Every structure is written in C-alpha cells, then in structure tokens.
Structure 1
Amino acid sequence: MADYTLPLSRVGPRETALVGGKAAGLGALITAGFPVPDGFVVTTAAYRDFLETTGLAGLPARELHTRIPREPVPDRIVAAVRAAAAGLHGPVAVRSSGTAEDLADASFAGQHDTYLGVDGEQAVLAAVRDCWASLWTPRAVAYRERYGWDESDLALAVVVQEMVDAEWAGVLFTADPVSGRRDHVVVEAVRGLGESLVSGTATGEHLVADKATGRTVSGSVAVPGAAELVRIGRDVEAAFGAPQDIEWAWAAGRFQLVQARPLTALPDEPVVPDAPPRGRRRSSRRRGTRPSQIHGMAADHMPFPPFPMDTSLFLRPAIRAILTATRSAGLAMPTLEETVVEIDDGVVQLVPPPGVRLTGRAVTGLPRALPSLVRLLRTSTTGWRERSECTLVALCRRVDAADLRGLSDHELLEQVDALLSTMGGLMPSRFGAVPRGALAGVLSERLLAAAVGRERAGTMHAELMSAVPCVTTSANAALERLAATVRADPELLAAYCEEEPARVAERLRGSAAGRALLADVDAYLREFGFREMSIFTVGLPPLRETPEVAHGMIKGLARGRPAEVDAATRLARARAELADARGLRARLLAPVVRRLVDAARTSAGFREDSHYQLVMTLAVARRVVLELGRRFCERGLLDAPDDIAYLERAEVTGLPPAAVRETVERRKAARRAALPGYSLIRAEPGAPVGDDGEVRGTPASRGSAVGPVRVVHDESEFANLQDGEVLVCPYTNPTWTPLFALASAVVVDAGGAASHAAIVAREHGIPAVMGTGNGTRVLTDGQRVVVDGNAGTVVHAGAAG
C-alpha cells in the first residue's frame, strides 16, 4: 500500500520515476526548508496497477484518454488514497506529476491537467483518474512527439495538496524569460488563485526587480512582501543551481510555494545588459529553419494558428474539397484527419502528402479530370468578377446591413454557412484565373531583359507594374490623400505627432478641421475597412474594427515626405522608354512585352480585388459570429464576444453550457503555447539559422538600400516607422502596404517573391528580402544595414563591401 502514495516530505529528485517531476520538485523544496502546503503523491505504481487491473495497459492513446476516466479505481489504491488524505484539511488541489515533466529542456507546462478546490473522497479519485487520462490527450501526445519522447514506459503520478486560500498568487521567474537577463527576477501576480494567470485567462500585475538587491527595475505589484518573494526566489535558484519557474501563493501573512521547476527556453544573456528588448519580441532561439517557398507563402497568408472556428468553417472544408478532387483524379491522398492534424487543443497544422503517387483509378480519373482543369485555368477574370458581384458581394452587403438581433442562434449560423459556402463556390475558379497572369509576368520580365538589358529590366518591369488599378492601389491612394491633408494643416499634424494613434481621434474631435478629417477616415474605413489585419480569420478584427491602425498609418505617412514621383508617372515613363527602345531586338520584342505586361497587370489587379472580396466575406461572417459571442456573454458562458472563435461551429450549439468556458480557456492556453515558431504547414527541420547573426532570404525586389532598421511586429506599431528606415517585420498582408511609401527597403521573416510585400515593394522600386525566418530576431532598431534585393542578403552597414 505504501507504494501507491507517499508524503511529499519523503520524496525528491531520486524518486522522479515513482513520483513525477512536479512531486519531486515539491519534495526537494520541503527538504531545502521552503514553505510548501501539506500533501502527498499518488505514485506511478498506482497508475500502472490501475492500467493492469482494468485491462487498459497497451491500448492506443485515443482509447486511454477516453476510457481511463470511466474505469473504477481498485480498492487497494482507494484505501491508500483515503489513508494519505486523512491528514489533510479542507478542499485540495489535484495536480498531474509526469515522469517526463518539469525537466530542464522540456517543462511539459500545461500539457497535463490540474483540478482545484476538490472536496470529498470520490471527487479526489475522479480528479486523479482525469489527471491520468490527461497523459494521453492529443496535445500531450503531440508535445512528446515534438521532443522525441519515448512513450514505451511512460507513467503519471498525481500530487494532492491542501488548497491555499490565497489572497495573492502568481509566478516568479528567477531570470527574465524574455530578455534572458540573469540579474533580474520577474514577478507576475493576481488577486486570489494563480490559476487564471498560469492558464492565460488573466494578465495580472508585472514586476521586474534586481535579483541581488530586490529593488524594482520596472512595474509594480500590490502583493505584500514583494522583496521577501524576490529573496525566496533567489534562494530557490541557489538551492537548485539553475534559473527557476516558481508558482507561489500569499495567504495569512506568508508565502507558500506550490511548484518550482527549471526555467526552460531561456534566451542567451543579452550582449548589452542595459538595452531592454523593444516591443513584444518573442524569446530567441538558437536554431531554426528557413521556410521553403510554400511554407513562406502559407506564413504570409496565415502566420498564426487558425482559431477553432476558422478550422471548422473553412479550413477543413477547403482541404476536404482538395483531397476529394485529387483522389477522384486517381492520385493517392491521405485522409482529412491525416492532413489536418490537431497538435494541441484546438491548434491544427497541415501535413502535406509525402509525394504524388498514382493509383489504378488514374487511368480513367485523370482523363475525366483534365477538361475540368482546363476550364478552371481558362477562367475569365471579368466573368469571375461579375459572378462574385452578383452573388458573394451582394450577399455580404445584405448580411452586413441586417439587424442580427432578431435572428435565432440557428438562423445566425445559417447566415455564416451561406457566406462561407458562397465563398467556397468561387474559390476554385478564382485560383484558376491567376496562373496565366503570373506566367505572363515572368515571361514579360525575361523578354524585357532581352530587349533592354538585364540591369535595366528588373527596375523597368517594376515600373511597368506600377499603379495597377485595384482596391489596394485605391486604398493606399486614399490613405495618402488623408496624410496630405494632415501634412498641410499644422493643427492636424500636431495632433498626430503628439498623440498615440489610439488617442488621435479624441484629440481631433476638439476642432472643426479634426472632425472633418475624422469623417473622411470613417468614409475610408467604410470603403476599405473589410481588409484583414493579421490573418485570414473570423477570430481577429478587420481594419474597420481597429481605426487606431488607420490613424497609425496616417501618422507615419504624414511625418514622411510626399513621393517625388508618383506611381502613375513612373508607369508612363517606363511605357515611353519601352516604346522608344532602340535596336532590332527591342523593336521586335516591345509589342510582345506590352501585351504580356497588360495581362500581368490585369491578373495582379484581379488578385487584389478578388482577395478583398474573400476577406470581405470573413469580416461580415465575423460580425455574425460576434453576435453569437455577445449572446454567450449575456448567458454567462463567455467573458468576451471574441472568445466564441475558440469554439468550432458545431460546438456553438452542441457543447454543454457548463463546458464552454473551460474549453475556451484551455484552448487559449494551447494557442498561446503554440505561437512561438508556429507554421501552418508542418515541415521537416532544416538548416540552422541565426547562430552567426546572418540574415538571408529570397530576393523579391531588386536593388540595394542602406538605412536604419525599424522592427514592426504588428499593426499596433505601424506609427513607429520613420521615413527612410528599413522595415523589418514577421509577415505582411495588403494592410501593411502603405508603409512601403516610407520604407527604404523591406525585410520579412515569411513570404516569398509572389507575396503582397514583394509585389508592392517592386511597385515602389525598393529592395525586398522575403522568407528570412530570423530578421525580426537578429536585427534591432536603429542598426544600419545594407539590404541587397538582388542577392537576398541583409548585412550590417559596417560589414558591407
């Protein structure tokens, strides 16, 4: 019986295989004299005996996950738990303690379950079983796969501790997990239980303190005895010989520690200790992979994990349609479940097929599919526009103007289904219309090189592709007109220069000129505000919901200088130069180049306009989904309407109300954990980058430029870019393109030569390097660099030449 449970005071690192990482850490804290709530551990021996007795041993993960909670716990284990719990008082916390947990290189944080306020023997036993089952959740299995963890002898222990009636609780890091500074400690604190902070559902108060003296460096926390907490953290680090991630609680005038584990993924010590990191930069990684072209393009369109609502509304249906079409043509394809894989709770990745392989059906399937493919590739851009205007755009306008409050939940979902199915019906032909124009663009540039020479051709081709009539060109021109109005009025210019973008509107309301400008900005957002901000999603707001972003772009443009030569003038000059080109070869090729350029320009405009209509659909669908989210908030099921995006479409009506909030909070934590280094398409590890500070990517726009770096992480930082700076960013979409009027060059972590950033950079005649994978991490604000758009390199200005 003693093997099934052990007091925490009798365990330590030597017993990790029996009690798991969490219990071993708590036992070590007790042995070292640190305050820890009373408790015991249900050992891995109990877990293994339970599996053998119930006949579950050896079953696959999916069955273990679902069957463990339903099986009765053997009487001998029940007796052991009852005896151990007899010495505890009041409700308890029941926490998983895995044998592959709280390690120096992999914390497994958040992968296994925790239950708080558990009261009564049966409730404790049920929580223990649920913890055992959490060893086999999809997210835990995927996590172990990422770390190559051997599951052959895997087991889980469970810690049972008295609940601390915490007045304050939180986390203490004995090194700064963002900057890597070992001379700092970081404290995060919330009132009450700390679970909301650890799970990510609360932000809490934040303090950075000097480790040696306890003096505050930045921030503050209201928890009593913050200096004592810093001392305790320093002592724990000294006791265990490495930076620690410590969970603590403050109750009845004293601190108690409920967990301590090595601080994983800690960045290297910064070279310049007094230069704090700017913005919301992610933790550095010593090794990474440069994205391939396909992965770069995926990151350009979807740089973050799709929300569960996105996955159910259009990602799975789109992939299902592709798999069905290719399978019917006779190609061997994986199943939908093998292609759209859940790597964590609600977080998915796409696993591409290992290769193209024909089946016996190809003999008849390919000939049958060929006519459809030909029709698809012959799609008329004019015809597509007309169909889209009559169906998709008309539906979007109608739903967007509708009073949604009178519709039932079911009717709201029907509206979303209608929007997405109409969009899905147009998607294949939209992509069928693009390749011909893209091919025309490639051919025109090559023939132009033969006509006027390779050195002139790159720049001249970009000029010939300038001022393409499309929604993006119109939106950027409208924004520049707003900036020109601000630039010409000292009062308006002062408002933008002196206020943060989020506060500009309040300042403008105080004057007649300001109110007139606000009316113009509102008109701009009504016409162009469907544009997506960061991702092809219903889970994040489009431009029309974030007017501060528009004000940030106006601010940047207004502080810059107007372009000396506009795009239309560059286009006219390039056309005249092509017409006047001398030599027999130039005269013969010029008419062909003109026709090819016209086709490429038509395709480029179609690509931008059709993209805008697709994201218009998502912006309107988001409005409907948010109405559902608002109703869930009224019913007490959600904290914010946006949280509805963490549910799948079927879960809106099919999930028990009691499970909604827990599901959302769990998926928020999973999404946050997946963000660093996330890629929509799963890739094999590639060559390491960033160890030597090299920034290299895909040449995307010719030329060379020298300038200071400005790292812009997202739309909230648009206003930071100054005229002539090198824009360095993680990804781009059409919303970013007005910044290119200010930038001297563009360097992007994701994307390829066909991305929006590359196209617009070529139109502006500025060099661009795409798909670096590490530019935002290696380059820092103010650093002078040389961007070589021909070679795809970015080097320090002092190292150039």
Structure 2
Amino acid sequence: MSGYTIDLHGRDVPEDERQDGGAPSARDVELIGGKGLGLTALTAAGFPVPNGFVITTDAYREVVAAAGLTAADPAEMRAQLPTIAISAPITEQILTGYARLKAAAVAVRSSATAEDLAGASFAGQYDSYLSLSTGQEVLDAVRNCWASLWTPRAVDYRAQHGADDRRLAMAVVVQAMVPAQWAGVLFTADPVSGRRDRIVLEAVAGLGEALVSGTATGEHVDLDKTTLAVRGEPGPGAAVVRELAELGLRVEQEFGGPQDLEWAYADGKIWLLQARPLTALRAEPASGRSSRRRGRRDRQSRPSPFAVTADHMPQPPYPMDLALFVRPVLRAVLGAIASTGLTTPPLDEVLVEIDDGVVQVIPPKIGFDRRALLGVPAALPKVVGLLRTRTDVWRARSAETLLPLARRLDTEDLDRLSDAELLDRVGELFGTAGRLSPSRFGAVPIGAAAEQVAALLLRPLVGTPRAKRLRADLMADLDCVTSRANADLARLTRTVRDAPELLAAYREREPEELGERLAGSESGRQLLLQVDRYLADYGYRELALLTVGQPSLRERPEVVHTLIKGQLERGDDQAPRDRAIRARAELAAEPGLIVGALRPVLGKLFDTARDRTAFREDSDYQLAMVPSVARRLLLELGRRMVRRGALADPNDIAFLEPDELDLPTDRTQELVARRKQAREAALPGYSIIPAHLLGSAAAGQVRGTPASPGSYVGIVRVVHDETEFATLRAGEVLVCPYTNPLWTPLFGLAGAVVVDSGGAASHAAIVAREYGIPAVMGTQNATRELIDGQRVLVDADRGTVTTVGSSRTTRTPVGR
C-alpha cells in the first residue's frame, strides 16, 4: 500500500497492505499526527478503542502539492482546501477503509502533526465531524479537517506556542461511531487545583461532543486516586465511574504521566476515544486536601466573581467583535498580568472557540513562582499609576479624543469613502478606545474597594441591618448617565400620562405601531421629537450584547415606547431622591466618640465610591459608542458586499473578520451560513463563561449575591429581553437572564429584581439601590427555576429566593 491510510488496530487488513504492523511508534507522529499517534498507542497497549483508520499526512501533502498550494498563505489554504480535488488513488483508499469499517456512522477527526504535544494540547483548534453515513460525507469532512489547519485561531495558537509551520501537515482519523449512552472526559489529575491524588470525571448522556466543546455542562465527579471513593453525581453509575477511573490509571501508568481522556460508554462497554498528556498542569498545592474541601464549600455558598461577565456578553460575540475588540482586550489583560512576572496561559486557552465563530472564556489560571517576585518591582509603579487614575483627567482625555472622533464618524458622508477607508475608520475608533481602556479599568477598583472598606467600618458602629441600609442610601442619587437617562424617560412617561390623546395611543397600540399613530397628531409629533432627542442623548446604549452585529437603542425607537408603555402603570415613575442626603444627616447625628472620629473617614470613602461608580457608568456609555458608530460604517461596507453578491444581508458582515472580507464570493457565503448555524445552535443556554466554572446552582434552589438589601414578597414576572419589557406589572418581581443600563427603568416598576448573571457592582445593583428595591444577582438559574405567577420571597440580605404561600405582596422598607 502506498501509505495513504493506516488501520488503527492492524486487523482486517491484508498482510501486504499493513505498514509496520499497523502500530506506528512515536517517530510516526509526522505520518499520522498527534491524535492518530495517541489512538494507535492505546490500541497497541491493548486498550479498548473503536475500529478505525488514519489518513496519513502523505495524502494531505500530495493533494496540496498537486493543487500548487504548497507555499500559499493561510487565508488561501483555508479558502481552497474545502473544495480541493483529491486524486483517484487517495479517494479509493479512503473509501475502501470506510467500507471495511462496516459502521452505521463514523466520526472524522483532525490529527495534526502539531497536536497533543507535551507542552500544548491544541485542544479545540482543529475540526471534527460526527455521525457521517456516506462515503461522500467522509471525503467532504476530510477536506474540511485539512482546511481547519489554517483557521486564524489555529495559526495564532501555533504561533504562540512556537510550533513550526514549515513541516506542518494534517492527518485525519476515521472511526466507527460509538452509540454512546454516556460519554465525557476523564482527567487523572485535577486540572484546576493540580492535585495528583484526585481523578476528575465529567459525563453527559449521549454523545460527549457538547461537553468537550463547552456547550453543555455534565455531571461532575471527583474520585480519590487511592481509594476510588466517588464524590459527586455519577451519571453512568458508580460502578461504571470506578471502572473508568481504573482504566484511566492504567493509561496513566502506561504513558508515564497525567492523562486527559475522552471516553464513551455503550452496551456495558467503555471505549477510549482519545488520550493525550494533561498539559499546563499547575504545581500541586502544599495543603491540597484541606484547600480543596474549603474551595468546594466556597463554590457552593457564593457565586463565582466571573458571573458578572455575562452581563456584557449574554450571547456569543460575533466574529467581527472577536477581531475588533474581544481578542485585543483579552490579549491586553493577559499581557498586563504577565508583565508583573506572573505566568498566564496563551490567549486561545482563555478565549476558546467551541464552534465556528462561537467562543467561551475560560478564566485564566495565573501561575506564581519565586521568579514572579522579580517582576513585581518593575510592574508596581504602572499598576499604582493605573489605580490612581483621576476620573476628571480621564473624562478630559475622552472629551478630546474619543467623543469628537465618534461624533465625526457618525455624521461622515460614507459614500465618499472607499472600502479600505471604512475599515481604517473602524480601526481608528477601536484603537482610540483601546488607548483609553486601561486607565478606565484602573480607576474603577478603587471605588469598589472604598465602598467595601466603608461598609466594614459601618457594621460594628451601627449594627449589620442598619449598616446595609445606610450603605445603600449613601450610594444612592448618583449623578451619572444611567440615572439621567432614567429620569428623562420618567419625564417622557409623565408627558404621555398627562395627555389623554397620547395615553390612549399607548394603551391601544403595540410599541412598534406607535410611531405611525403618534405622527398623526401635533402632540404625537412633539412627543416623537422628544423621543428623538432621548435617542440622540442615550441611543448608543446596547440592547443586549456589546456588539457591532446587533442594533443599539438608537436603531430601535420602539424599545423606548416599550419602556414608556411599561412605566405608565407606575404612579410615581421616578426614583426617590435625597436618600444620600438623609443618610449623611443620620450618620452625622449618630452619637459616640468612635463614630465621631470615623465620620470624616467614612465621608471620604463614600465620596470616592460614589465618584468612581458614577465614572464607571459614564465611561462605560462612552465606550459603548464605539461599536454603535462602528456598526454604521460596517453596515455601509455590508451593503456594498450585498451589491457585489458576496452577502445576502448587510448585517451578515458581522459573521466575518476583517481579513475575510476579500474571500471569494462562494467561500464568503458558505462561511457566513456555517457561522450563522453555529450561533443559532449555541444560543440556548449559552454563557460566555462555561456554566460549570460559575459555581454550582442546585436544582430547585435560587441563590445569588445580595446586591441591594431588603426583602420582598411578590409575583414573579420572567422577562427574557427588551421585547417583553411591557409585560412587567407594578409590584412584580422582575426575573431576567441579564441586565444592562437599558433595563434599569423597569426597576421603578418592579418590587424586587432577581438576575441570572451579574454581581453587587453591576449596573442593575446600582439602580436597584437607587430605587431602594431588593436585588439578588448572579443566581445562574432563576429564569429556569422561577415561572410567571409564582409568589416568592426575595431575601436580598441573604441572597435567596424562595416560594411562599402567602396571598399578600409585602415589602420591608429600604431607604424609603
């Protein structure tokens, strides 16, 4: 045989067609790639591996050479390989190998020569295709696996790990699909803590691809490596879990180190689908056992601090977002951490692509060793400088650079700009914002720290319940864009309420119909002008996702009408004022020498906290102008691509990255279609941080972070997005998946707020304290566990939400 295919087991292959007995050694990684090498090593050692074969790198190299692509750049390789011609001899051997498997369905998986190495796993960098049932599907999948060698994520990952692209090639593994009842991963050491005395297993019912890709959260099981005692929910059963653990230990012993295994269980048998070294394993903690137990209790008692990230990315960012700001921001954050001497993982291990154009963020594991101390003195002045950022100086810099640039580009005649000039303008916008961002983020933590210290000082002076109320009151009445927007919306609502004709229009028409109705009368036209002014002042705000791929508020005036329509139910549609003044007066009247001595300190701390919190809201809005204005420029470019036949809709440009805009038309259309499908598949249950990293959320229990104190009993109203704003009724408990400042006018109507994501420092928490209503953030599961019409007790002092049988709706006053 000419070497285009090699059977994994060396069985069912005529003797004269075998190569080296069908069991390649380590030197053969150049022939069958990392995944192929791992699987052949497993079969050679007698472990259970599904029947299959490897299409060698010789096939890849011959096909590429025949097409004249040997010296092509990554973009051309990526564009040409999915449709490249495969010679008859290679096609025949692939189809012969496929036929010999006699399988109902097969999996086709990439096996690059730079993959599953000791220093880098390359996990998720290359493509796999499951449940294929025809020879043509197998051939197409082989081509797509070859193309995945040259995706931007794979090229960037190799560059960061110093892999040599000059000899790079792709082998492909074809295996019989296991009709799995359970599947998952098994680590023979704890990949989080680094403890070598633990085995960690995760399992899902059915195929394991959703678990491996990060789109599903499975059953999590810990085992003691010595006793194999099981902790957790062993979905496939304790006996199967122990058998898996024993199998994992045998693999670890065979290959001489901690292993990362993929497995499937079907009809009473365990199959191994992949084995590779467990890379980037941190040093084992000295007091691992006790710290592990303590860590488990902590995760159960409070949500992860990363939960707040979901407020900004409740949906997957688009590929254009990834290129323009998501990757650059994360790269800058990792670089800043590394500049102190600490160790960080490469970007592609933090921003992980789980499907084509769909990513999740894996919170980075920060390494620390004695050498890190050497970087601290050099980095300390820079860190201190960022933390000492003056908010007035930042505002002045923004007023001189970002704001005039955004306003100029927002009114520029785009017809006069070339495609390249449009992209240059977009780059200028994000570059300007990027230069402002580090000091902006440096200015915010001081405010949060000042508020925390002040709260700690208050507690022993006035007692815990009163300290919680005073803290909320002293942080109320902030002068910031969010508060001003809500106040202006309240004024619009009063205008409608005071005019019978306008009030009738809002009661009779749906929000998307109101523009036409209002345009028919003078009072209606005057109101529309006021709405236009509101959108001019606050319309850059994102609706859900901070993105260039979806409209901001200014493109959706019906959302303003929805907010007005909802607020019309409230008698007093403005947050109570002067709470902070009253709280300061109360604190000033508090007797006692210690209180008197600390009063100036508390005043300064709360002044700092208020200043930095208001600054955070204002600067956040200014930075939100960037994707909103960039969207205007990109949509013009999208319209031009529609005219050229490259796109079906101008909005589809969001599914491309800037270096993909010049691809051939058919390739562009195929790429957009594939990424649209991947995005739609990812939306249900999506979290930018994988759910299993956010801490546990027990079924039937809703618990989160106290964000605004007090308690409230009321009826649940689940609101999923801005189209449902008008469904909230006065006094109901607003339950929602995420919030941003656009949602906060609803807080004037709600009796309490419960949110799946976010934390005590989120926009929602700030405005909940403004209105003096209880708020619980970061529950993860409130929108799943709670349903419309349920009566619940929101205890925002404890961070819990429980169902109750009372027929009354009551609130304990908080700062009213």
Shorter-chain TM range is: 0.5 to 0.7
> Equivalent residue for 2:231?
none
> Equivalent residue for 2:618?
609
> Equivalent residue for 1:372?
382
Aligned-pair CA distance for 1:289: 9.9
Q: Helix, strand or coil for the counterpart of 2:336? A: helix
Check the 8 A contact 2:108/2:130 in 1, yes or no: no
Classify 1:687/1:432 alpha carbon distance in 2 versus 1 (closer, same or farther; 3 Å). closer
> Equivalent residue for 1:741?
748
Q: How many residues are matched?
A: 587
Classify 1:357/1:567 alpha carbon distance in 2 versus 1 (closer, same or farther; 3 Å). same
Classify 1:69/1:328 alpha carbon distance in 2 versus 1 (closer, same or farther; 3 Å). same
Q: Does 1:463 align with 2:483?
A: no
Where do residues 111-126 of structure 1 align in structure 2 (5 Å cutoff)? 112=129
Q: Distance in 2 between matches of 1:55 and 1:46?
A: 22
> Equivalent residue for 1:578?
587
Aligned-pair CA distance for 1:756: 1.1
Q: Does 1:489 align with 2:499?
A: yes
Check the 8 A contact 2:474/2:584 in 1, yes or no: yes
Classify 1:320/1:81 alpha carbon distance in 2 versus 1 (closer, same or farther; 3 Å). closer
Deviation per CA, 1:122-168, whole angstroms, max 9, x where unpaired?
A: xx9876522334468869x99xxxxxxxx9975279xxxxxxxxxxx
Picking from 706, 717, 726, the partner of 2:713 is: 706
AA aligned to 1:585 is I
Picking from 720, 723, 732, the partner of 1:725 is: 732
> Equivalent residue for 1:629?
638
> Equivalent residue for 2:451?
441
AA aligned to 1:556 is G
Picking from 309, 313, 323, the partner of 1:302 is: 313
Unaligned runs of 5+ in 1: 1-44, 85-95, 102-109, 116-123, 143-150, 158-287
Q: Does 1:672 align with 2:680?
A: yes
Q: Does 1:789 align with 2:796?
A: yes
Aligned-pair CA distance for 1:580: 2.1
Aligned-pair CA distance for 1:587: 2.7
> Equivalent residue for 2:525?
515
Classify 1:689/1:127 alpha carbon distance in 2 versus 1 (closer, same or farther; 3 Å). closer
Aligned-pair CA distance for 1:100: 9.2
Check the 8 A contact 2:330/2:347 in 1, yes or no: yes
> Equivalent residue for 1:155?
175
Classify 1:46/1:659 alpha carbon distance in 2 versus 1 (closer, same or farther; 3 Å). farther
Classify 1:138/1:706 alpha carbon distance in 2 versus 1 (closer, same or farther; 3 Å). farther
Report percent identity of matched pairs. Answer: 50
Check the 8 A contact 1:78/1:125 in 2, yes or no: no
Q: Helix, strand or coil for the counterpart of 2:661? A: helix
Q: Distance in 2 between matches of 1:394 and 1:605?
A: 21
Picking from 771, 778, 784, the partner of 2:785 is: 778
Q: Distance in 1 between matches of 2:93 and 2:648?
A: 41
Check the 8 A contact 1:138/1:345 in 2, yes or no: no
AA aligned to 2:316 is P
Classify 1:551/1:312 alpha carbon distance in 2 versus 1 (closer, same or farther; 3 Å). same
Aligned-pair CA distance for 1:592: 2.2
Check the 8 A contact 1:462/1:762 in 2, yes or no: yes
Where do residues 307-456 of structure 1 align in structure 2 (5 Å cutoff)? 307-358=318-369, 360=371, 362=372, 364-456=374-466
Q: Helix, strand or coil for the counterpart of 1:567? A: coil
Check the 8 A contact 2:712/2:794 in 1, yes or no: yes
> Equivalent residue for 2:629?
620
Where do residues 496-645 of structure 1 align in structure 2 (5 Å cutoff)? 496-563=506-573, 566-645=575-654
Q: TM-score, normalised by structure 1?
A: 0.67
Classify 1:588/1:543 alpha carbon distance in 2 versus 1 (closer, same or farther; 3 Å). same
> Equivalent residue for 2:664?
656
AA aligned to 2:599 is A
Check the 8 A contact 1:471/1:608 in 2, yes or no: yes
Check the 8 A contact 1:56/1:64 in 2, yes or no: no
Aligned-pair CA distance for 1:292: 3.9
AA aligned to 1:313 is L
Q: Which moved more, 1:350-359 or 1:469-478?
A: 350-359
Q: Distance in 1 between matches of 2:302 and 2:546?
A: 19
Q: Helix, strand or coil for the counterpart of 2:401? A: helix
Classify 1:786/1:138 alpha carbon distance in 2 versus 1 (closer, same or farther; 3 Å). farther
Q: Helix, strand or coil for the counterpart of 1:155? A: strand
Deviation per CA, 1:760-799, whole angstroms, max 9, x where unpaired?
A: 1122111111111111111111111111101111111228
Check the 8 A contact 2:737/2:756 in 1, yes or no: yes
Q: Helix, strand or coil for the counterpart of 1:603? A: helix
AA aligned to 1:155 is Q
Deviation per CA, 1:319-357, whole angstroms, max 9, x where unpaired?
A: 222233333332222222333222110112223333322
Q: Distance in 2 between matches of 1:56 and 1:155?
A: 22
AA aligned to 1:497 is R
Give the root-mean-square deviation of aligned CA atoms.
3.9
Check the 8 A contact 1:463/1:567 in 2, yes or no: no
Q: Distance in 2 between matches of 1:289 and 1:312?
A: 36
Q: Helix, strand or coil for the counterpart of 1:589? A: helix
Q: Does 1:479 align with 2:499?
A: no
Check the 8 A contact 1:113/1:134 in 2, yes or no: no
Q: Distance in 1 between matches of 2:370 and 2:623?
A: 35
Q: Distance in 1 between matches of 2:94 and 2:688?
A: 47
Aligned-pair CA distance for 1:64: 13
Check the 8 A contact 1:495/1:507 in 2, yes or no: yes
Q: Distance in 1 between matches of 2:407 and 2:728?
A: 35
Q: Distance in 2 between matches of 1:560 and 1:601?
A: 28
Check the 8 A contact 2:302/2:705 in 1, yes or no: no
Deviation per CA, 1:567-618, whole angstroms, max 9, x where unpaired?
A: 3232332222222223333333333222221111111110000001000111
